[in-house]
Amino acid sequence: MRHGSADLVPPARRATIKEVAEAAGVSRSTASRALTGNGYVAESVKQRVRQAAADLGYVVDAMARSLKQQSTKSIGVLVSDLRNEFYAHLAAGASRQATRLGYTTMLIDDQGEAEDEVAAAEAFVALRVAGVVATPISAAATSFLLRQRIPVIEVDRRFSDGACDAVVVDNRGSARAITRHLAELGHRRIALLIDEDDWTTGRERREGYLDALGAAGISHDRGLVVPAGWDVEAAKEAARDLLASADRPTAIFAANNVLAEGAWRAATELGLRIPDELSLAAFDDAPWMSMVTPGVTAVAQDAAAMGRAAVQTLFERIADPAAGTRTIVLSATLRIRGSTAAAPVGQERDLPVG
């Protein structure tokens, strides 16, 4: 052990309010009032107590406080994969909004595993968080939290429709718009790369896709709706198989940014020229989509805004637990870039109506 001057060596134990009170020559009650600002304290006493607290390096013990108050100033945020920029932006938006409102954020990344999700929910309950913002992967976590009387906001996708509030984008409408855009360019064989049908996102995006096909008078070819897994590698495989087939599609609509990356890589590796030989459009705009040549046409969701809105909604729910549940639908923007163009003529079977 090295020696140092006394004022630089922190005390072995952290100061408690009792020690602050003694240093200031008042009772614990008075010290508490002086520090929190609740109740009557003489101004001079308040100053003395605060000075004593500063001298001792006192920081309130949030555990003890919330144990007594039976409430915490922290919320839980549960996302599937922080490495996916969509979730990262969502978490950033939620976390910043929570900080702004004086709350701290417990963040858990459930790695897309349902068990981890339930474990995360239990951790949130143990920590008695004031509420949870989650991108659910099953109904289990949400219903567990709701049973424990913890408000939950589902973001991006819904599993507990009506049982809790939600913040989503207009998946169906946006998917319809993007598919219509491809149809208007003359594409008749438009493939949909999709992750998961259990999720409302996947389901609604597929519905929007089908809506637009129907509206354009294009008959639905089941083989063009391709389950493409969860990661870039799997999506690339799926896209490669699709693009290597004899009657390959002239356009691909990838239902999220990961699948779009897989599709892009597959097309690049196969040497398919975009948009001459293949048009590509995506749900979820990602930075790379505006950096590659040509840029990728995409529906841009403001993930950070979704996170902010979710936290906002959560606080409204906390303020009024009895209010009816709400679903906030944010709009998304279609960004048309160079990756979508008129369908190659040779591959057409029919000419588009419009």
Partner DNA sequence: TATATTTGTGGGAACGATGCCATAGGTTCC
Partner DNA sequence: GGAACCTATGGCATCGTTCCCACAAATATA
Binding site partner of 111, from its own copies, DNA, none, Cβ cut-off 5-8 A by kind: its own copies
Applying CB under 7 A, among 36, 51, 245, 268 the residue interacting with DNA is 36
Distances from the Cα of 54 to the Cα of 22, 132, 330, 331, angstroms: 14, 34, 45, 48
Q: In this structure, is the dihedral angle defined by the CA atoms of residues 255, 258, 264 and 270, taken in order, positive or negative?
A: negative
Binding site partner of 30, from its own copies, DNA, none, Cβ cut-off 5-8 A by kind: DNA
Binding site partner of 5, from its own copies, DNA, none, Cβ cut-off 5-8 A by kind: none
Instruction: Tell which positions 200-229 bind DNA, by CB under 7 A.
Output: none
Closer of 66 and 347 to its own copies (Cβ): 66
Give dist(CA 130, CA 76) in Å, integer: 8
Q: Classify 286 in phi/psi space as left (phi over 0), alpha (psi -120 to 50) or beta.
A: beta
What residues make contact with its own copies under the rule CB under 8 A?
10, 14, 57, 59-64, 66-67, 72, 74, 77, 81-83, 85, 88-89, 91-92, 95-96, 99, 104-109, 111, 116, 119, 122-123, 125-128, 147-149, 261, 264-265, 268, 287-288, 291-293, 304
Applying CB under 7 A, among 45, 107, 139, 305 the residue interacting with DNA is 45
Closer of 126 and 351 to its own copies (Cβ): 126
The beta-carbon contacts of 155-164 under 8 Å, at least 24 apart in sequence, are: 155/90, 155/306, 155/307, 155/310, 156/86, 156/90, 156/201, 156/306, 157/199, 157/200, 157/201, 158/200, 158/327, 159/200, 160/136, 162/325, 163/325, 164/325
| String of contacts with DNA for each residue 50-89, x by CB under 7 A | --------x-xx--xx-xxxx-------------------
